[in-house]
Copies of this chain bind each other. A is one copy, B any other.
């Protein structure tokens, strides 16, 4: 199905599941919506931390239809999360009831697109094979503070067969709007991860450390994490894995 067809089903709430594996090769994005009073600080935070927060598009207050998708950000994602004063409040299927005209929306790159390219490059995605959510970890890699927003980077981990390391780096670094090249490989303890079997988000994934190396990419959960520490009165995000599917083919596939 085309992105528009999938989004139509989300809008009608006929389909409410993860967008993982849907419309592969089309850019999918994380969503962060904040009242305008927080928008300057958060925009500056994204600019200062482009690896975890690659900006795909910013919708000014009052705008609900992005350039990158013929979609309404209030209804066309399958599932949203609402946080109030830095704490999870509720999960909803649309934002019709909570939307205010001063809300600013940030669309931030996501790793789904580069995973497709890695698989096409012959690199196994073990979490997909094991039917798990990619494991994510809080690290000690500090972010550049911007106004209210600060914190450490969150990373996702994919174990890469040692003989395919170069290919994985080469493929992922082409996806600058989807976190790009890894931030670390090999030594989780160096970036403050004590136990790979205990991810902070997602699931633990099994791999053979003799033949594979754990590789860490900056993760789109980072801005949510930083935003929650800033305790905005309200913040809305996509539910994890339930992204905005855009109409844009990733430039690496397009043409």
A interface residue numbers (CB < 8 A to B): 36, 39-41, 43-44, 47, 55, 58, 60-61, 104, 146-147
Q: Is the CB of B55 within 8 A of A47?
A: yes
Q: Which residues does chain B contribute within 8 Å of A40, judged by CB atoms? A: 36, 39-40, 43, 104
Given A60-B147, A147-B60; A44-B43 close (CB under 8 Å): yes
Q: Which residues does chain B contribute within 8 Å of A41, judged by CB atoms? A: 60
Q: Is the CB of B44 within 8 A of A60?
A: yes
Q: How far is the CA of A146 from the CA of B59 in the complex (A)?
A: 9
- Of A40, A47, A58, A61, most buried by chain B (CB within 10 Å of CB) is A40
Q: Which residues does chain B contribute within 8 Å of A61, judged by CB atoms? A: 147
Tell me how many chains of this kind the complex includes. Answer: 2
Q: Is the CB of A146 within 8 A of B60?
A: yes
Q: Which residues does chain B contribute within 8 Å of A39, judged by CB atoms? A: 40
10 pairs, CB–CB < 8 Å, chain A vs chain B? A36-B40, A39-B40, A43-B44, A43-B47, A44-B60, A47-B47, A47-B55, A47-B58, A60-B146, A61-B147
Report the minimal beta-carbon distance from A228 to chain B, rounded to whole angstroms: 20
Q: How far is the CA of A61 from the CA of B40 in the complex (A)?
A: 10
Using CB atoms, name the residue of chain B closest to A48: B58
Report the minimal beta-carbon distance from A68 to chain B, rounded to whole angstroms: 13
Q: Which residues does chain B contribute within 8 Å of A44, judged by CB atoms? A: 43, 58, 60
Q: How far is the CA of A104 from the CA of B55 in the complex (A)?
A: 21
Using CB atoms, name the residue of chain B closest to A61: B147
Q: Which residues does chain B contribute within 8 Å of A47, judged by CB atoms? A: 43, 47, 55, 58
Q: How far is the CA of A60 from the CA of B44 in the complex (A)?
A: 9
Interface contacts beyond A36-B40, A40-B40, A60-B146: sample of 6 additional A-B pairs, CB < 8 Å, sorted by A = A40-B43, A41-B60, A43-B43, A43-B47, A47-B47, A47-B55
Q: How far is the CA of A227 from the CA of B39 in the complex (A)?
A: 19
Q: How far is the CA of A146 from the CA of B58 in the complex (A)?
A: 10
Q: How far is the CA of A24 from the CA of B26 in the complex (A)?
A: 46
Q: Which residues does chain B contribute within 8 Å of A55, judged by CB atoms? A: 47
Report the minimal beta-carbon distance from A59 to chain B, rounded to whole angstroms: 10
Q: Which residues does chain B contribute within 8 Å of A146, judged by CB atoms? A: 60
Report the minimal beta-carbon distance from A203 to chain B, rounded to whole angstroms: 36
Using CB atoms, name the residue of chain B closest to A147: B60
